[in-house]
Structure 1
């Protein structure tokens, strides 16, 4: 029985029923633009998560196969890649705000990402591999921040439909991620790695084409900013648009270089983080409005806890994928589940649980018992630690003689980690808009994405601690199991648990500094 094929078929049937239901049940409530952007974002996430499901496995099993330190190299590159994916959208958002407008930025980003995925589909040198990832990083910087902002332009600030629109949009994100991990994972591992990467490129192409052909639906929105805030001076006699295109071409080889320079990338991330956090601290302490200053201090404190959460959460695309490959009993019904398919648990759980969590918060709010923001962060970290504790216990007490752990423990880990994500992630963006001083809210939002970027880089560093090489020899399944469980126990349980405890102690002070903001 080909369990992977049947999982893929059932997953697509579920989505083909669910997506039309969502659209039909909301088409009279929301503008058509929502469903076009829903579709575009769904395919963009299909391309990103499809590639992400294969990336670490491909590097370890193909690109660096036989090389000493293959795990360390692959996980370091994965950490740098995902860090840059979240680092550069601040620049792309700035370009859309001041020069391009949302629509041109989204199209440019989509085309660059599509090219990156298609070049990954060709077998070639390591240089081509890094250039492909760089194209995706730079393209994402234009696409990712602007499609969400563009959606917001179709609703007034106080439109009661707005929260529902973003809930539907977020569903598109997770449907794309769910389909990608099933489809690209299956095609990449069972048929050809390069076909899997190429399929991700096709998904991105579909999203871009639909977006371009929907210009009439968007009418006059998302075009060039009506008020250009940049000075009209033209450096080197070039227009600002030309400067952006030239800068984009320069950034592609720069990103490719940084991907293969782990120490340089780590230093860069730490330096940028220190500068930005230092500036936020300066703004908080010098603010003549004490209330505004203390609210900004809350953001600074939670910045670090947010980064720690993502450092362990993002093991999903790195060390946890390799753990599934080497130390999970993936046999079922006479077949073997490809290890990349386990990453589909997270988006599936989100699709199922997000409406439930929305209902829970509303219910608790009506009774005056909804947890404050800082307490939701505590819950997020606690569930994250509980997820890693489950996998450690599963490895210690239920692993067989071959060093294989029943897959139910990995499914439980993803369930608990997803619950933690739902407690913490949606709250963070809302918190920024409420606690930031109006004059620097955009900058603070960029800093918040930087905390995710920093967390992703830390994820790569933590992942290297699980490396399956020792003194030049490949480790056995029993030895890799020990590596994984020791790392997850120390970082996933003890470190995350300690951060949750510290934040719990800080909660009364943070609530006080929020001055009534909930």
Structure 2
């Protein structure tokens, strides 16, 4: 997009109206609030829906299978963002991507609200994966389009926007968890659909007057030849997939386990290909190649970190349901409520961390050192959760405070690694691959979830201590290695701090 078009977009947006920010920030804040409300509300109860018995309103899947599906689902959500970004950049623009994505997400949650239907469950997963891939990356892009490049309000805008994300993520599990407990799963999923509906209503009613031209431009539209090329390629892929699935599924060759393994392979293969292409490209300078090499150990650390953090919605969710004393101080706790801890701690601690980095200035740890500390906290969060089993035994219910402590520790690591990782990605990215490197950063979460789909199979009540100890210990060992290598990595970063 040319600088002229960028300025034209900024000029079309009313620049005052929401806490000193452009009016459109209100639209995008509440659109994303309701989208995250629907996503995290659904996610908080989804794993229980899969493995609870049919008599309790669930699907009756084996617990290990349910945990693996949950991980694969998370991996596909992150992967789909790459496709959603491409469609917005090349075909219909970010505003339409947000709207189409919201529609798909809403219908996905509606499909989930039909009780006890396995077929509708898989339909809903496809709709939500595609919808989130369209909406999630593109709504953030629209936020950036409302501000001129030198507008000092930009960082504050994303902070406000990020607060909307975490507010929705905090409130939703409390409400859907309560509905699950009192009325059944389908009411919780219905609430998630209603949440996305509210987000779409806010977006449609306010976007015309508040967003101006933001989100309407297609930055790199397909020309006639490209439309023909990609149209033919898409048709061939669809036909090939239909033929392959039509042959393999009836013959029992394409099973759920096969699908999980394929996603796992792709979760590792995709970022590997990205790194090779960026490093070998003639558009990448010698300095940028050095920075790509420096980014690799940070990426590996991010995969390990997210592999632990994302188990908050799988392994720790099951732990909350089956190993935790849910009658605490006279309050009957829903296991889904623990999913609200992560966004709550982020809301409380993010300003403290931001102020701490500003106060430390040049004395703050380097980027690799922050990654190492983030990974260290992630490992400690798993070691903490094995302690109650060690002291109380495998059969005793443990205090919910152990889970609270585990979630708190991993959030300390998240605030060390996640925002720093976003910043480091923009700084280390080769100029010719700036947007794709940001997609690569999100593939760290996709790869982590794909890895989790394999790891969660080893979790059981009998292997609980070994499971938490092995993964937590591996993370701590990797953090120590990364900390020792930090000075060398810093050299390869060629001046980036």
How far does residue 430 in structure 1 lie from its aligned partner after superposition? 1.4
1:495 equivalent among 465, 468, 474? 474
How far does residue 370 in structure 1 lie from its aligned partner after superposition? 1.2
1:384 equivalent among 346, 367, 378? 378
For 2:482 and 2:22, locate their aligned partners in 1 and report how far apart those are by CA, in whole Å: 41
1:510 aligns with 2:489: yes
For 1:395 and 1:431, locate their aligned partners in 2 and report how far apart those are by CA, in whole Å: 38
TM alignment of 1:462-501, pairs within 5 A: 462-467=455-460, 480=461, 482-491=462-471, 493-501=472-480
Partner residue of 1:212? 204
Deviations 1:247-281 (A, max 9, x none): 8xx99xx9xx9996233332344245325424423
Partner residue of 1:150? 142
Q: Secondary structure at the match of 2:214?
A: coil
Deviations 1:137-166 (A, max 9, x none): 011110011000110001122321111111
For 1:453 and 1:217, locate their aligned partners in 2 and report how far apart those are by CA, in whole Å: 34
Q: Which runs of 5+ in 2 are unaligned?
A: 1-15
RMSD: 2.9
Deviations 1:462-513 (A, max 9, x none): 222113xxxxxxxxxxxx2x4322211111x211111111211221111011
1:415 equivalent among 404, 408, 414? 408
TM alignment of 1:254-269, pairs within 5 A: 261-269=256-264
Deviations 1:289-328 (A, max 9, x none): 3211111112222221111111111111101011111111
Partner residue of 2:346? 350
For 2:216 and 2:270, locate their aligned partners in 1 and report how far apart those are by CA, in whole Å: 33
How far does residue 68 in structure 1 lie from its aligned partner after superposition? 9.4
Partner residue of 1:457? 450
Alpha-carbon distance change, 195 to 68 in structure 1, aligned in 2, over 3 angstroms: closer
Alpha-carbon distance change, 90 to 234 in structure 1, aligned in 2, over 3 angstroms: closer
How far does residue 437 in structure 1 lie from its aligned partner after superposition? 0.8
1:35 equivalent among 14, 26, 32? 26
Alpha-carbon distance change, 347 to 339 in structure 1, aligned in 2, over 3 angstroms: same
> Does the CA contact (< 8 Å) of 1:99 and 1:224 recur in 2?
no
1:284 aligns with 2:289: no
How far does residue 64 in structure 1 lie from its aligned partner after superposition? 10
How far does residue 335 in structure 1 lie from its aligned partner after superposition? 3.4
Partner residue of 1:472? none
> Does the CA contact (< 8 Å) of 1:323 and 1:484 recur in 2?
no
> Does the CA contact (< 8 Å) of 1:281 and 1:300 recur in 2?
no
Alpha-carbon distance change, 236 to 267 in structure 1, aligned in 2, over 3 angstroms: closer
TM-score, scaled to structure 1: 0.84
Number of residue equivalences: 469
> Does the CA contact (< 8 Å) of 1:310 and 1:459 recur in 2?
no
1:198 equivalent among 143, 166, 190? 190
TM alignment of 1:276-315, pairs within 5 A: 276-284=271-279, 289-315=285-311
For 1:336 and 1:259, locate their aligned partners in 2 and report how far apart those are by CA, in whole Å: 43
How far does residue 286 in structure 1 lie from its aligned partner after superposition? 5.9
TM-score, scaled to structure 2: 0.88
For 1:237 and 1:86, locate their aligned partners in 2 and report how far apart those are by CA, in whole Å: 23
For 1:325 and 1:107, locate their aligned partners in 2 and report how far apart those are by CA, in whole Å: 36
How far does residue 191 in structure 1 lie from its aligned partner after superposition? 1.5
Decide which moves more: 300-309 or 41-50.
Answer: 300-309
For 1:426 and 1:485, locate their aligned partners in 2 and report how far apart those are by CA, in whole Å: 31
For 1:420 and 1:259, locate their aligned partners in 2 and report how far apart those are by CA, in whole Å: 38
> Does the CA contact (< 8 Å) of 2:180 and 2:188 recur in 1?
yes
Partner residue of 1:404? 397
For 1:358 and 1:74, locate their aligned partners in 2 and report how far apart those are by CA, in whole Å: 37
Deviations 1:395-434 (A, max 9, x none): 212x379511111111110100011111101111111111
1:325 equivalent among 317, 321, 324? 321
Q: Which runs of 5+ in 1 are unaligned?
A: 1-24, 468-479
Partner residue of 1:100? 92
Partner residue of 2:127? 135
